């Protein structure tokens, strides 16, 4: 199935005309036919849902296998199977390729092509389960590392098992419009070699992750606006930390890739991949089967942000060689580190933490807080892109930072009287403050060498204590 306005549909129409008449179709006649067909489809045709690569079917999932025969893979709580008849309507766009034909599940073969630390493998497995779920929200997989860590190769491989394409990796989009065009033509967006994300692009990626609207002017008009709601799995890779804004950081799975221990030629990798692709694909499908079976009954305690993803992944990873506890611990640690790194990259958050460290509690207006931050700031901070220059700008930043600050034990509340609105910053009693793990170099009171990554930093009143 193709969009009527697409080049693929125009080619199908021209081919059908040639088969009937033995002659090429006139360009104007083709345009008239397309306009008429579009109007008929809009006003008189039956309305049915159409999906891109992944679609729901009852309580199960149907995956467009991308083959020339338009076959599919059906997944339910009872198992998965390859089928020749489509259970739902799919459209294709761009340059889609066929998914690997599943055989017998073995996810361990994936790590020959995806270079991540051993402890991070469960997070990659969880992202794969999310990427083949028809309903979001979808975590953004962020692959960071120096040159020679296999970021692009890892991205291509993960794309190969979720939404293979003749052009698997895309250049960074210039704006929201480019991002929307990419999202409309691909189920999984894999953006290669990013060197940073503007605030506008960070917001757009957040909308793409959790679902949001994109708007654009309709061609040749000033008044007609097209509104499109879209939600997609995303892979980002680069050398720099791309998710510096806390709201984007909390939607990401942050993985730092280690240097490659051994390099392999493309030819050798292609030869082994042909043997490994089927077992890897089957292992992912096995995970989807278990996720469908257990997602409504799995219990993982208090849910973090991206709660739907967390439950879905926790339900499915046992079929892929991991435990649910292993995933939950790894994901919570990853999120805590992401929050900490996001706050470290915010000059405003750093200034607020310094105020709390000195005073324990602060209360005043947004104007007074901005004045205090300006007094404490380093000379260069005032010129940073994210530094506020008005009380209103500071209030907007605080609203964005509030969930991350709360995560590290700092509460920001608003009150007002008849004249002013006040901000109160305080250290939340009993609030846990996760830190980026440090190497084991501390000694406990009884002489034990303690890994400080296993300690909990607890904020009590205006004191910070470590519980070992």
Residues of the chain with pLDDT under 70: 1, 215-227, 242-244, 379-385, 429-468
The whole-number pLDDT of residue 28 equals 85
pTM above 0.85, yes or no: no
The whole-number pLDDT of residue 243 equals 67
Domain ranges of the chain: 1-47, 107-341, 343-467
* SS3 call for 190: strand
The answer to whether the CB of 218 falls within 8 A of the CB of 224 is yes
**β-bridge partners, 422:** 415
Per-residue pLDDT of 130-141, as tens digits, reads: 999 999 899 999
Burial track 239-251 (b if 16+ CB lie within 10 A, e otherwise): eebbbbbbbbbbb
The whole-number pLDDT of residue 32 equals 85
How far, in Å, are 90, 101, 168, 197, 289 from residue 81 at the CA level? 18, 10, 26, 40, 11
Q: Which strand ranges, in their side-by-side order, compose the sheet holding 79-83?
A: 54-57, 60-64, 72-76, 79-83
343-467 and 107-341 share a CATH fold: no
The whole-number pLDDT of residue 297 equals 95
The answer to whether the CB of 288 falls within 8 A of the CB of 132 is yes
- Quote the tokens at residue 62: 């149907």
Per-residue pLDDT of 151-202, as tens digits, reads: 999 999 999 999 999 999 999 888 888 888 899 889 999 999 888 778 888 8
The whole-number pLDDT of residue 41 equals 81
Burial track 296-313 (b if 16+ CB lie within 10 A, e otherwise): eebebeeebbbebbbbbb
- Looking at domain 343-467, its CATH class is mainly alpha
Query: How far is 226 from 218, CA to CA, in rounded Å?
Result: 6
First to last CA, the chain: 59
Question: How many Cβ atoms from other residues are within 10 Å of residue 165's Cβ?
Answer: 20
The answer to whether the CB of 321 falls within 8 A of the CB of 107 is yes
The number of residues making up the chain comes to: 468
- Identify which of 273, 234, 255, 238 has the alpha carbon closest to the alpha carbon of residue 152: 238
The whole-number pLDDT of residue 383 equals 63
CATH of range 107-341; options 3.30.450.20, 3.40.50.300, 3.40.190.10, 3.30.9.10: 3.40.50.300
The whole-number pLDDT of residue 321 equals 96
DSSP, residue by residue, 317-351: GGGGT--HHHHHHHHHHHHHHHHHHHHHT-HHHHH
**β-bridge partners, 27:** none
């Amino acid at each position: 199935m193709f969009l009527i306005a697409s080049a693929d549909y125009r080619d199908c129409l021209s081919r059908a005309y040639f088969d009937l008449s033995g002659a090429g179709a006139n360009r104007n006649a083709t345009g008239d036919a397309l306009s008429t067909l579009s109007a008929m489809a809009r006003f008189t045709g039956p309305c049915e849902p159409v999906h891109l690569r992944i679609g729901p079917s009852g309580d199960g999932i149907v995956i467009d296998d991308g083959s020339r025969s338009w076959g599919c893979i059906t997944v339910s709580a009872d198992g998965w199977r390859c089928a020749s008849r489509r259970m739902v309507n799919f459209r294709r766009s761009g340059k889609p390729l066929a998914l690997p034909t599943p055989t017998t599940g073995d996810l361990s073969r994936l790590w020959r092509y995806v270079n991540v630390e051993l402890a991070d493998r469960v997070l990659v497995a969880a992202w794969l389960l999310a990427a083949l779920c028809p309903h979001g929200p979808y975590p953004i997989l962020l692959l960071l590392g120096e040159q020679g860590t296999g970021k692009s190769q890892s991205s291509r491989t993960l794309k190969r098992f979720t939404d293979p394409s003749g052009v698997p990796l895309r250049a960074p989009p210039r704006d929201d419009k480019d991002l929307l065009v990419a999202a409309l033509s691909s189920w999984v967006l894999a953006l290669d070699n990013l060197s940073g994300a503007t605030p506008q692009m960070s917001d757009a990626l957040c909308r793409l992750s959790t679902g949001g609207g994109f708007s654009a002017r309709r061609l040749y008009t000033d008044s007609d606006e097209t509104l499109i709601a879209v939600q997609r799995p995303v892979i980002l890779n680069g050398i720099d930390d791309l998710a510096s804004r806390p709201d984007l950081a909390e939607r990401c799975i942050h993985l730092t890739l280690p240097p490659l221990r051994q390099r392999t030629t493309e030819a050798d990798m292609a030869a082994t991949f042909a043997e490994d692709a089927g077992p890897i694909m089957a292992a992912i499908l096995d995970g989807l089967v278990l996720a469908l079976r257990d997602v409504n009954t799995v219990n993982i305690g208090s849910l973090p942000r991206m709660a739907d993803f967390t439950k879905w992944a926790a339900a499915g990873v046992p079929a892929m060689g991991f435990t649910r506890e292993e995933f939950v611990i790894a994901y919570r640690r990853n999120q805590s580190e992401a929050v900490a790194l996001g706050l470290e990259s915010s000059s405003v958050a750093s200034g607020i933490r310094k105020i709390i460290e000195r005073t324990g509690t602060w209360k005043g207006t947004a104007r007074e807080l901005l004045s205090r931050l300006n007094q404490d700031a380093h000379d260069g901070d005032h010129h940073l892109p994210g530094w506020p220059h008005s009380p209103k700008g500071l209030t907007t930043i605080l609203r964005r930072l509030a969930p991350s600050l709360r995560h590290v034990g700092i509460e920001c509340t608003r009150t007002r009287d008849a004249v002013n609105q006040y901000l109160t910053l305080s250290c939340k009693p009993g609030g846990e403050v996760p830190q980026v793990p440090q190497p084991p170099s501390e000694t406990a009171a009884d002489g034990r060498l303690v890994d400080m990554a296993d300690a909990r930093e607890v904020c009590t009143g205006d004191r910070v204590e470590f519980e070992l």
